[in-house]
């Protein structure tokens, strides 16, 4: 009888066999007769017993809890589509279904660490700030997330108007506002049932006529790039390219600011970089 390639056991075994110990930070030891990770290695990474992993792969257990599925997905380094497949194979709704995720994928966390000398910020799909490099915080005067955990770019732009004080978008403030709202409306396609997301839209609609007007335009598009002049109290105005990248198989947004190499703006960033590194 042919194997069901979409069964829970087959999926787990296939994903286990494609990984090497080095891929998950483990040392390889002993003679490895089979390719990929051993079951005991997956069990250790996921925090479950080896016997349980064996029963799942052999089809003797078919109903793991949502917590176990999430742990297995993390241990096997599954992307978003694969994680959804695993949930479905286990008879569960995807954990991210309809909800804005605030989890930063491991690959993005590594990228942030390696690019700490750049002004880089990470946002959720609703433009809530998740993390930022020291240089990004120094550039915009962003408070620590430990002290001010809920920092949302939509609220800052349309209600607090702190973004208008911090930077001037080239093409005018409305070009930036329109790009943000179009990006948010695009996210509404997936997260319209998220109470937190709906609450954000309702709040800003009720308090900002400008947001309400742009929202009613119905335009939906990913925010990709913009040029901004950042107003800084120490180094003066800094003109930077702002590029927005969405992480594959995720709704996380990476916002990176850069200046032309050798330019006066690049030198101003260098000055801020020194100050940011001293704070760290």
Residue 201 has pLDDT above 60, yes or no: yes
Helix, coil or strand: residue 173:
helix
Residue 95 lies in a domain: no
Number of CB atoms found within 10 A of residue 216's CB: 10
| Residue-number span of the structural domain to which 31 is assigned | 8-89
pLDDT digits (tens, 9 = 90+) for 145-172: 888 888 999 999 999 877 778 899 999 9
- The last residue of one of the domains, among 89, 120, 139, is 89
Residue 5 pLDDT class (50, 70, 90 cuts): low
Whole-number Å distance between alpha carbons of 63 and 165: 53
Within this chain, do residues 69 and 207 fall inside the same structural domain, yes or no?
Answer: no
- Verify that 79 and 111 share a domain, yes or no: no
| Residue 126 resides in a domain | yes
**132 and 46 fall within a common domain:** no
For residue 66, what is the domain's CATH number?
1.10.260.40
Helices of type H across 143-255: 153-155, 162-166, 173-191, 195-207, 209-217
In 3D space, the residue among 215, 212, 133, 152 whose CA is nearest the CA of residue 181 turns out to be 215
Per the structure, how many domains does the chain have? 2
Q: Report, as an integer, the average pLDDT of 222-239.
A: 93
**118: DSSP letter:** S
Last residue of a domain, one of 63, 89, 115: 89
Does 240 share its domain with 142?
A: yes
Quick: pLDDT tens for 14-73: 999 988 888 887 777 767 776 788 899 999 999 999 999 999 999 898 889 988 998 898
Whether residues 110 and 85 fall in one domain? no
Q: Is the pLDDT of residue 2 over 50?
A: no
The pLDDT of residue 1? 33
The confidence band for 275, taking pLDDT boundaries of 50, 70 and 90, is: confident
Of 55, 89, 123, the residue at which a domain comes to its end is 89
Lowest mean pLDDT across 75-79, 157-161, 178-182, 251-255: 75-79
Do the domain assignments include residue 17? yes
Name the average pLDDT for the chain.
87
Confidence of residue 102 (pLDDT cuts 50, 70, 90): confident
DSSP state of 60: S
What local confidence, expressed as pLDDT, does residue 97 receive?
Answer: 58
Q: How many CB atoms neighbour CB 17 within 10 A?
A: 12
| Residue 116, pLDDT above cutoff 70 | yes
Q: Could you tell me if 121 and 259 lie in one domain?
A: yes
CA distance 72 to 54: 13
pLDDT of 208 > 90? The answer is yes
- Residue 94's pLDDT band, with cuts at 50, 70 and 90, is low
Q: What angle do CA 207, 122, 232 make, to 5 degrees?
A: 75
Q: Is residue 179 pLDDT above 90, yes or no?
A: yes
């Amino acid at each position: 009888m042919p194997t069901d390639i979409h069964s829970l056991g087959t999926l787990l075994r296939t994903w286990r066999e494609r990984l090497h110990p080095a891929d998950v930070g483990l040392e390889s030891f002993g003679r490895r007769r089979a390719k990929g990770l051993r079951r005991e290695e997956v069990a250790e990474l996921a925090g479950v017993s080896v016997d349980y992993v064996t029963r799942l792969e052999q089809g003797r257990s078919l109903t793991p809890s949502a917590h176990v599925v999430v742990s297995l997905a993390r241990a096997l380094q599954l992307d978003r589509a694969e994680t959804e497949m695993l949930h479905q194979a286990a008879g569960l709704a995807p954990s991210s279904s309809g909800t804005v995720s605030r989890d930063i994928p491991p690959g993005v966390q590594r990228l942030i660490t390696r690019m700490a000398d750049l002004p880089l910020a990470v946002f959720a799909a609703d433009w809530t700030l998740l993390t930022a490099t020291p240089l990004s915080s120094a550039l915009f005067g962003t408070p620590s997330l430990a002290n001010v955990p809920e920092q949302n770019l939509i609220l800052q732009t349309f209600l607090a108007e702190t973004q208008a004080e911090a930077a001037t978008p080239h093409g005018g403030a409305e070009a930036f506002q329109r790009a943000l709202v179009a990006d948010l409306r695009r996210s509404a396609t997936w997260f319209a049932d998220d109470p937190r997301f709906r609450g954000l839209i309702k709040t800003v609609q009720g308090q900002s006529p400008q947001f309400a007007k742009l929202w009613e335009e119905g335009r939906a598009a990913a925010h990709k790039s913009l040029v901004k002049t950042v107003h800084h109290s120490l180094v003066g105005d800094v003109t930077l390219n702002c590029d927005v990248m969405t992480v594959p198989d995720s709704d996380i947004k990476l916002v990176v600011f850069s200046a032309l190499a050798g330019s006066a703006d690049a030198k101003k960033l260098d000055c801020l970089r020194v100050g940011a590194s001293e704070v760290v």
